[in-house]
Amino acid sequence: MSDGMDAFMPPHRANQSSSSTTSSSTATATMTSGSEDLDPVVARSREVLEMATVGDLLRVTAEAADGSGRDRADEDETRDALRWFVVKRVGMSTGGRQLVEGELEGKKAQILDQGGANQARIGISGALLDERTPLTRLKNVRDADKFKRAIKSYERRVERESDALTLVSSVDKALTLNGLEQAVKKNPRFWTEGDGAHSRRVIKDPTESATKMTGELLALKHGHRDVVLMQIVCDWTDALEDSVRAPFAAATLEDMLTQDASISMRLSEARYQVGEDKDGNPEFSNGITAVIYRETAKETANVLVSMGVQATRNIAGAFQQALVGVALGYTDENIAHHIRRLHNEDKLTDEDIFALIITARDEKEALNAK
């Protein structure tokens, strides 16, 4: 919902006009200082890394270090990829180069300035979450054993991923966690009402998409919604914007569950048949989603868990979709848009759809009244 973001001039958009000016001036200064062979983009990236502070979200354009230009899915198309790096520590390497440590899309990572005319490089050191994460020991994580199994699956998936996109083409500061939180507090609609026809754009703002998950968590933290879904792990390709891999998401979740006893988490599991093997045996895809909720919405959360709801996969059935939308606090118009889009061939009338939504709201109210 872009009007929610536009209403307060989010930090990443405020930075866009200034960053281009800074880039130009930096390049000029670099070229006139005697480093005539230094690429202006490398100079700009170096400046951003030198000025990075803890809590910054860096927007990194990366290419394959081996020259293949292929992304993690090993697609045939050669291109750069936009990646998201959260700064957690700033220091120097043993060789005296700028070293920024943090997280990159669910992985522990670092960006190292290689000096001279060389592009900076990303180093990956493993999964961001593991069995030792404090999240597995919190009392308000209701399915602790299930969560530990999910984290193990998450670790294995990270270990299996080949990550060749580690050569930094460019880097800019997108926003800060504090800036995002202030935006949510000022105007939470973008993170609470769901997507509708009016919020669909041909080109989505990448920073909005990348921080959507954390924005929803912050909306829950500040009392603007009661339930949030977050994908922990799955066998299908999941969107960063609805995943624990999203920038700031894991740390924000841990902070909320540690600091606020009224917020709890359960795990929702689902299994889908996706085909058959060569012998005709069924093949399945599995997913585990965190249902984060306020205790006042406990019964609603339990229903979502019983349904096997997943953050990055639509549940089947128009009424079930209405119930999920209502449980997540979305507007009737946006829920109807979602159902209409998924059931385009079922010829559901607007009256049919809104009747389902009304029934879902009645069911939710009855659950929360228990």
Q: Is the pLDDT of residue 129 over 60?
A: yes
What is the percent of the chain with per-residue pLDDT over 90, rounded to a whole number?
A: 64
Half-sphere exposure of 75 (CA within 13 A, CB side): 9
Q: Bigger pLDDT: 141 or 345?
A: 141
In the chain, the amino acid numbered 206 is: P
Give pLDDT, residue 199: 59
Domain ranges of the chain: 2-313, 314-370
Q: Is the pLDDT of residue 24 over 80?
A: no
pLDDT tens per residue, range 263-286: 999 999 999 988 888 888 888 899
Q: Is the pLDDT of residue 4 over 60?
A: no
Q: Is the pLDDT of residue 203 over 80?
A: no
Query: Residue 287's pLDDT band (boundaries 50, 70, 90)?
Result: very high
The pTM is what?
Answer: 0.85
